[in-house]
Amino acid sequence: MKALVLAVSAAAFTAALPASAGIMTIGGSYAEGCFRAAEQHSATLESLTTCDRAFSEQSLTREDELATYVNRGILRMMRSDFNRASLDFGAAIAMDPNRSEPYLNMAIMRFKQGKSAEALPLFSKAIELGTEVPEIAYYGRGLAHEDVGNVKAAYDDLQRAVSLKPKWEAPAKDLARYQVRRR
């Protein structure tokens, strides 16, 4: 099963981040349906019911359970149900504190909520744990650094995001707002 990283951005962060990163299940299960809904950004009540049914009607492996928490959390975040999304991401982190996806999605959610100071250590933890989409983590952390007034760190992270995924327009566009002056 694959857990996703939601596409979210600041003004542009809500739309600029590609969905990815994860943990995927093979077969026609409810857990896979939950993954597909998160992957397709289909945050309908039917999609959430599919995720819930994965927990109630399937015998999930530990890996699939963790991934389903992340995927359901993404769907809840997309519906602005931040409290329940936070519970899902927290459950995934408790199951395996060494997985990067729950931290990255929690960071994106905190950023989306306007809680950049809370998002910063979560983005850093996702990077430290080796997220499969470091460009998203660096981009998000760069925007969060900018929000809290750390322009140098913001610039460095945006540069890193651009270097990791040069064809991704969002970080390059944000980086272009900066002017570097040598003293």
Yes or no: say if 154 and 13 are a contact pair by the CB < 8 Å rule: no
Could you report the per-residue pLDDT of 40-86, keeping only the tens digit for each?
Answer: 999 999 999 999 999 999 899 999 999 999 999 999 999 999 999 99
CA distance 122 to 146: 16
Could you report the per-residue pLDDT of 83-142, keeping only the tens digit for each?
Answer: 999 999 999 999 999 999 999 999 999 999 999 999 999 999 999 999 999 999 999 999
pLDDT of amino acid 11: 35
pLDDT of amino acid 181: 79
Q: Tell me the two tokens of residue 38.
A: 């998160």
pLDDT of amino acid 159: 96
- Which pLDDT band holds residue 28 (cuts at 50, 70, 90)? low
Give the residue-averaged pLDDT of 2-31.
50
Give the residue-averaged pLDDT of 151-164.
96
Q: Tell me the two tokens of residue 30.
A: 């409810």
pLDDT of amino acid 17: 46
- Which pLDDT band holds residue 21 (cuts at 50, 70, 90)? very low
Q: Tell me the two tokens of residue 73.
A: 């959390």
Bridge partners, residue 5, by sequence: 20
CA distance 129 to 56: 30
Calculated CA dihedral for residues 75, 80, 83, 89, nearest 10 degrees: 30
Angstrom CA distances, 180 to 126, 140, 151, stand at 28, 21, 11
- Which pLDDT band holds residue 178 (cuts at 50, 70, 90)? confident
3-state secondary structure of 20: strand
* pLDDT higher than threshold 50 for residue 20: no
Yes or no: say if 35 and 50 are a contact pair by the CB < 8 Å rule: no
pLDDT of amino acid 85: 96
